Every structure is written in structure tokens, then in C-alpha cells.
Amino acid sequence: MLSIIIFTPILVAIGVALMGDKREGPTYWLSLLSSIFVFALALFMGINFDPSQSQFQFVEQFNWINQFNIQYHLGIDGISYPLVLLTSLLTPIVIVTSRTSPKRKYHQYLASFLIMEGLMIGVFSALDGFLFYIFWESMLIPMFIIIGLWGGKDRVYATVKFFLYTFLGSVFMLIALIYLYFKTGGYSISDFHSVPLSMREQLLIFLAFLFAFAVKVPMWPVHTWLPDAHVEAPTGGSVILAAVLLKMGGYGFLRFSLPIAPDASAYLANFMIALSLIAIIYIGLVAISQTDMKKLIAYSSISHMGFVTLGIFVFYNLGIQSASPETMSLAITGSMIQMISHGLISAALFLCVGVIYDRLHTRLISDYQGVVNSMPKFATLMVFFALANAAIPGTSGFVGEFTVIMASFKINLWIALFAAITLIIGAVYSLWLIKRVIFGEPLNERISGMQEMTMIEALPLATLALLVLTLGLWPAPLVEIMSMSIENLVNHITFSKL
Amino acid sequence: MISLIKPIIPELTLATGICLMVLVNALIQHPHKRTSQILAVMTLVVSIAAALPLLNQNTEIYFNGQFIIDPLAIGLKISSYVAVLLVILSTTINEKINQSEVLLIELFATLGISIICSAANLLTIYLGLETLALSLYGLVATNKNSIESTEAAMKFFILGAIASAIFLYGISLIYGIYGTLDIHLLSIMIISDTLELKIAVGFILCGIAFKFGAIPFHSWVPDTYQGAATPVALFLSTAPKIAAFALFYRLLIDAFSSISETWTIMVYALGILSLIIGNLIAISQTNFKRLLGYSAIGHIGFIFLGISIGTQEGLESSLFYVLIYVLMTMVAFMVIEILSSEHHEVKSLKDLKDLNSSHPWFSLIMLIAMCSMIGVPPFAGFYAKWSVLSSLIEANMVITAIIAILMTVIAAFYYLRVIWFIYFEKTDKENKKLESTILQKTVVSFTGIIILLIGLYPKPVLDFCRQIISSNLLLD
């Protein structure tokens, strides 16, 4: 089942790439249908998913490279399933919206996104460290092409920076994985979890993984590739980058760093919390001063991802068993909800920017004013997403941030206070963006002459809005899916490995 | 009679093929332009067929201790025959270089490689080495009308002659100390490390390092890669590397394994130097062939690091790296070869601009080759890097592994630059039709896809390397 979900898009991508750029219609429909098929499969998997089990489900396991004990081992649990679903949801959306703006080499564009989809789902479902690394790294190639081929003016700079940053981060992870292989005699992640390691080993392994995941999240101060990559990437690229790629870092912390090196995580927790708070507050302030809409959203992404890392590490504030299991579950649940919610909201915001960019071909905030006059429906949606970005109650953004802040309150008042500042900062940059772009008198005739959204543009945004609202008002189903796996994780990471 | 020549049937086939080609070229007035190619291909196919049955044979030494047949020898021979076969199949047939000469000399070189692989005596090794080296000097000079090519050949010849002399001097020192050139006897006689022995091994190592093109014996590499005609550079960068590995194995492992502490440190130093300097210089190159030359030096650093560990895993990973490297560089040169026409040779990175619009398929193949050279999965090059890193970490050389991996990131930049010229740069040049034949295109596509297939399922190649290395080490 998981293999089908991973390899359908990749195989279709090969077919699409071979069809050539003469046949835009068929390639589009083929890609769209296959991605919807994958989404349907993922949903179907969700129906059969048993949330009362903490074990991995839909497991597939074969020997792949015997002499190194490398296995083709896939499976999902409550932590990875929501991310798989998110990925399979966003790919059809990206494909639908790609239709609105003409692209050269359209078939390659579609193929790149389909390959990305397969690889991303592979990352979330790999249970073998080696397989995980293969999916994780392979993804650089299509993303490199997406930003470089269909990006903006400085696309080459941005894409090379993106590639080198992430490559540099992940090669350290490779060394850590190889080291763990010699420790356990295999690459199985569950073996990694149970292997005893000395503090020194844990620290080094933790740092190696930190390089890889911190670059992906991205955490301050290794975040600088993200604004460049986001600004230059085509709309679809930004959407996938913000919504899924960044989540891999958070997922990596939960799947690798915490369970493999719990003592090192506890030891370095305050360092991680500090980095997260810097990201939340300082990057939030940076976001306020941006003049480019995409850059603003990119910085706000970094700031929001700070909540994810905060939630993952905050309960280690005073040591490995400082917090009660309930608080730990709460914090991690908050992080997970924040990841999903940020995936939806940032994707939607980038799509919004894409919609108006296709009309005026500028991303500068100062080039817009009074969009509401010509595009009232669009304005409604964009305002809604901006509010969600500012974590207004009733939207999913609120649930995630509020849960993390609540957990922090139980642990350390000061951390919670600092984190809560973001509720103000987030409101400032989100609302100010809206004020300048959406409201007011139309700046010029080009703005007053803007066409209202077409059906193709509106549909994805409306879907996302619905999901953001549902998740904001009724997050219980999501929490239920995750709860057992998180509980299992929490039980594991409170035990010292020393 | 048959049993007497049985071990050298592959070599005899090659020699017969060479004679036949000479005769055909001399006697037939206006041969069909493909005659030489067909003859060469047939020769190689028969040689491969003759070598295959020997693969499972036990180790045996023939001809008074001159010639050894073991899985390593046969395995390397078969690999190099296949490599040469692919090279010859993808060579362009046109008037610019003398087709029959080039193919003939390439077969000569293959014969030399074959002899090196099976040498059981230092003199046999030297014989094979010189057969190979002299053929290569000739090959580089075949592009007679090009100043660059002549200059490259001259440099290559002078430096190569010096390296051979140093190598020979090392051998003579060994003979002076132990009174024998037989590798098996030497491995028994050498027990302790003396200064004379150290010097001799150092000299021999210089010779090998020159063949590989490791720093500081590298200066011929970029020049010859750049100056030689593309088919020649293609040959130069593939099969001789396999021979160099054989050279390494026969000398350092077979003969001098008991003093491994002496040579591992030398190999290690050469490896680290090549890795760092090769990759750093490659960053600023604009000529694509020259870039590949420097990138070769960087890859050789990895191969040397693998060997310098001195363990079985290290050797396996190095052999694996050599085979994969040969495959990757072959694809890169083949694509250049295909894109070049009789009047316009693809040299600079600029010539590759916007290749994606005119030839998307070959762009993809080049993308695969470059990503594989960076070491991005799921391509074969990743496993090559990973296996060397694995053996480094197993031997507790984590710092070296980190240096190696940092250099990989630096190297990623110039490979990415190739990709960005192919995919991201725009050009006004009109779309030219390729002059290459369907055969060439098939060979390139086949080799490119092999890189991907090995990436998806590397087990057979890893097994192959493990089998031929471990069966040899068990003897000791």
C-alpha cells in the first residue's frame, strides 16, 4: 500500500516526462488524476488506520542490500500519517494551480512535483535509516530543478544556496547513520531507538542530526537559505517547500533525535529552546519589516516553525524527567498540530500571493493597495488566512500555538511568556500585510482592473480554508490519530539511555 | 596444449585481434569505415567470453611464477574489457581522428591492462605497465592537428617516462634487497621494515600515484583530459583506472602487505591531498573536460582513502568506487562526445547552455551522471561514497570521514554548475541536430540507466567486489 503511494507518482512522472511538452492537456490530466488517486489511497489508509495501536501499521519489509543489513522497510504511525496525508493533499493542489500560469517545459514541471511527492511520502514512511536517507537526499534534485528552472530573477543563486545548505546539513546525518549502523549492526530505526549510547556518543549523534534537521526546519541561525529559496521559487515550489519540506525537520527530531539521543536532547534542551525563542521573536520582528510578500511569509514560516521545535524540546527544560508525561504529550501534540496547521496556512498564503502575482507580476507590498475593490472573494480568503497565520481562535493556527504555550506554562513561565509574544508579533505582520495589500483605495488602474479569481484558483484556497477552520474548531480527530504514538514516544524518551 | 594456453586465452584473443586489425588495415585498400570498429568489438566480446569461465577457477600461478589467475585478476579484466567495449561502441566514426589507429592502440592498451591484472612478478607488472603507458601516449597524440593535443601528449610522455623510471628504480631496489622479483616469494620474505624497503615502496607508490593521477603527480591529468580528443579522453579516464587499482593490489596487498603500516600512511597522505586540492581547483574551471580532469583527482582521493584503511572492507569499497567512478565519468564523456560534431567540439561549459531545450534526454543523462558524481542518492555514486565512508568510520577514522564529506559538499558546487548551465541558462543558439549514430545514443542511454539501476539495487555490484576481494585475502 505504502509502496503504491510512493511509486505511483514517480512512475507517472517518468511517463509525463517522456510525453514531451507538446501535449499539455494530457500531461496535466494524467498528473492530476494520479495525484488525486494517491490522495484517495492515503485517505483510504486513514480509514483503515487503527489509532489505538502505537505500533507501526501498513508495514512492508524486504531485504534490500543483505551484506549491510539494509532493508526496504516502510510503515506509518500516528506521527507520520498526518504528514503523509498533508503531502498527498497538497500535491494535487499544486498541480491544479500550475494550470493558471503558463510555464515553459510544463511536462518537466509536473514530473518534478510528482517525483517530489513520492519521495516526500517516502521520507515520512521509511523505517530504515538508510532508506530514509535515500528519500531525504533524492528530494534535493527535483527541488533544485524546480527552483532553478521556473524561479524568479535570482533563481540560480537561490537554488544553489538551497542545495548546498541542505546537502551540507544532511551529510552529517549520513555519518551519524553509519555510526549507528556499526553500533546496532543494521539500519533499522527501531534498533537505533533501543541501542544504549554513552553521553559523548549521544551528543555527537544529536549534533549530527541537528545539522540536518535544523537546516530543514529551518532554525535560526541556519535559516538564511529559506527566504531566498521561497522568494525565487515558483508558487508551487514555495507551497511544497513551506508546507512539507520544512516539516521533515520537525519529523526528524521526533523520529531520530529524541528517541536515539534522549539524554543529549535533555542536555541541550535549553540551547534548543533558546534557538526556538530567537526564531519566534527575532524572526517575527524581521518579518514585520519585509517589503516583499513572499519574503514576509517565508520569515513568518521560520517564526512559526520555532513553535514546533519549542514544543519538541520545552519539556526537557529542567532535565530528562522534569515534566509529567501529560505535559510532554501536550507539548508534542501541540508541535504536531502546529506542523499540520502551518502546512495548510503557509501553503494557502503562498497560493494567495501566486494569484495576485500572476496578475501584476510583482511581489512588492508597495505595488499593491485596495485589492479588495476588484477581487472581493479573493480578499475574503486572504484575510482569513492572514488571520489564521496570526493564530486567531477558531483557526488551526491557534490550536497549535496555544497548545505549545500551554505546555510551556506548566514547565517554565518565562518560556511561555516569551513564546506568547508571538501572538502580538504575528498579528502585527499579518494584519499589516493585509492592511497594505488588501484594504484602502486602489493604488492605480492596474489594481482596479484586476480580474476576480477563476474557479481553478478559488477551489484549492477554499479547500484549505475549510480544513484550517475544521482543524481550528474540532482538532479531536487529528489528536486521536496521534495520541497513542505520541504516548509511546513520550514513554520512550523519558528513560535515560546511560 | 590447450591446458597450457588456457589461462591466457583472453590475452591471446586480444593479441590475435590486434594482428588481424593491423593486417586488415594494411591489406585492404579502402576498407569500410566501420571495419575496425567491428573487429575491435568482436575481439573484446570473444575475450570477455573467454575470461568468464576462468572466474570461478582457483588461484594458480603459471609460466614459472610470471602469471597469476585468481578471481581478482579475472574480475578486473572482465570489468576493463566491458569498459573498453562501451568506449569503443560510443566512439564517433569520422575523418577527424584516424579511426583504425585509435581503436588499434586502445586494444593494445587493453592488453597492457590485462597483463597488469594477472602479473605475478614485478617484471611482468612493468611489462604490462609500459604496454599500457606507451599506448596511452600515442592515443593522446592522435589528434595531430591540434596544438593542445600535442602539448598534452608531450607533457604526458615526459612525466610518464619519469614516473616509469622511478617505478623501475623502486623495483630494482627490491631486487637488490631480496634477490627476487616474484611477488609470492616477496610476500613471504618481507617481514620487517627497513629504510631501503621504505624507499623502494615509496618509489613504487610514486609510479602508481602517477598512473592514478593523484596529487602531487596529477599535473598531466587536466592537460591530457582537455587536450586529447574526446573519445581518447573517454578511454583515458576509464579502463586505465581499473589497471591502476590492479597495480595497487598486486604490489601493495600481494607483495607488501606485511609492511602495511609503511604504505598506508603514504597512501593516506596522497588521498587527503588529492581530495582537497583536486576539488578546490575544480571549482574555478570553465572547460568541461578540464573540470572532469580535476574532478577525477578528487574522486581518486576517495579511492586512496579507501585503500589506506588497509582492511578488507576498505579495499572492497575502493574497488566499488573505482568501478562506479569509471561508469560515471564514462557517461559524462560520452554525452560530450555525442553532442560534439565534426566541426564543433563541446569544450566549455557554455557549450552546454540550455541543453535541456534541445536534447532533454541527454540532459537527463548528464543530470544523472553529475548527481551521481556529487553522491546524491538514488544514483550509484552515492553508494560509492557511502561505502568508503562506512569503512572509514568502521576503522575509527571519523575525522577523515568528515573531511571527505566536507569536500563532497564543496565538489557539489561545480557539479551543480554543470547542471545549472544545462537547465537554467538560456541561449539564442539554434537547435542543432546531432550527428551521432543510433548505436552511440543507445550506448549512452544504456550506461546512464545503469547508473540509476545500480543506485536502486546496488547488491550485485557490491557482491561482486566483495567476492573478488575476499577470495583473494583468504589465501594469505
> Alpha helix locations (H) across A126-224?
129-138, 140-150, 155-184, 189-194, 199-216
Which pLDDT score is estimated for A422? Answer: 83
Q: Which residues of B touch A67 (CB under 8 A)?
A: 459, 462-463, 466
Contacting residues of A for B400, CB less than 8 Å apart:
none
Inter-chain CB proximity A175 and B393 less than 8 Å = yes
How far apart are alpha carbons B270 and B274 in whole angstroms? 6
- Rg of chain B (C-alpha set): 21
Which cell numbers hold the place of B363? 540532459
Cα separation, B128 vs B117, whole angstroms: 9
- Nearest alpha-carbon partner for B314 in B376, B374, B257: B257
Q: What is the ipTM for the molecules in this complex? A: 0.90
- The pLDDT, as a whole number, for residue A121 is 92
What are the cell numbers at A223?
Answer: 535559516
In the block, residue with C-alpha cell 543563486:
A157
Q: Residue A494 in contact with residue A321, Cβ under 8 Å? A: yes
Distance of CA A362 to the CA centre of its chain: 26
Strand partners, B224: none
Burial A166-190 (b: 16+ CB within 10 A, else e): bbbbbbbbbbbbbbbbeebebbbbe
A158 at B interface, C-beta within 8 A: no
Is B389–A133 a contact, with Cβ atoms under 8 angstroms apart? no
C-alpha A108/C-alpha A236 separation (Å) is: 13
Contact by Cβ (8 Å): B137, B128? no
Q: Does B463 touch chain A (CB under 8 A)?
A: yes
Among all residues of chain B, which has the CA nearest to that of A147? B424
Q: State how far the alpha carbon of A310 is from the alpha carbons of A103, A153, A219, A274, A413, in Å.
A: 39, 35, 11, 9, 14
pLDDT of residue B354: 80
Cα torsion at A198, A199, A203, A204 (round to 10°)? -40
Q: What are the angstrom distances between the C-alpha of A46 and each of A3, A345, A492, B197?
A: 15, 22, 25, 70
Chain B residues inside the 8 Å CB shell of A148:
419-420, 423-424
Residue window 380-409, chain B: list those with CB within 8 Å of chain A: 382, 386, 389-390, 393-394, 398, 401-402, 405-406, 408-409
Cβ proximity of B465 and B325 under 8 Å: no
- Amino acid sitting at position B37: Q
Give the containing element (helix H, strand E) for B69: strand B67-69
Q: B316, B387 in Cβ contact below 8 A? A: yes
The pLDDT score that the predictor gives to residue B31 is 67
Task: Give B423 to chain A, closest Cα distance, Å.
Answer: 6
**CA–CA distance, B189 with A167 (Å, rounded to integer):** 49
Q: How many CB atoms lie within 10 A of CB A466?
A: 11
Integer Cα distance of B100 and B105 in angstroms: 9
A172 neighbourhood in chain B, CB within 8 Å? 402, 405
- Contact status, residue A343 vs residue A243, Cβ threshold 8 Å: yes
CB contact under 8 A, B462 and A65: yes
- Nearest-angstrom CA–CA distance, A472 and A466: 10
* pTM for this entry: 0.92
Interchain pair A175, B401: CB under 8 A: yes
Look at A175 and B405 and tell me if their CB atoms are within 8 Å. yes
Per-residue pLDDT of chain B (476 residues; tens, 9 = 90+): 677 788 888 899 999 999 998 888 888 777 677 788 888 899 999 999 988 888 877 788 888 888 888 888 899 999 999 999 999 888 876 666 667 788 889 999 999 999 999 988 999 999 999 999 999 998 888 877 788 888 889 999 999 999 999 999 999 999 998 888 888 888 888 888 888 888 999 999 998 898 888 888 888 899 898 888 888 889 998 989 999 999 888 888 888 888 888 888 999 999 999 999 999 999 988 898 899 999 999 999 999 999 998 888 889 999 999 999 999 999 999 988 888 876 777 778 888 888 888 888 888 999 999 999 998 888 999 999 999 999 999 888 889 999 999 999 999 999 999 998 888 888 776 666 777 788 888 999 999 999 999 988 988 888 888 888 887 665 44
Segments of chain A scoring below 50 in pLDDT? none
Closest to B371 (Cβ–Cβ): which among A141, A168, A172?
A: A141
Helices B99-118 and B239-248 meet at what angle, rounded to 10? Answer: 20
Give the pLDDT confidence score for residue B430 in this predicted structure: 64
- Any chain B CB within 8 A of the CB of A203? no
Specify the pLDDT at position B94.
Answer: 64
Q: How many residues does chain B have?
A: 476
CA dist A131 and B34 (Å) reads 46
A160 touches chain B (CB under 8 A): yes
B373 close to B418: Cβ distance less than 8 angstroms: no
Nearest CA in chain A to B361: A18
Angle at A214 between CA A212 and CA A216, to 5 degrees: 70
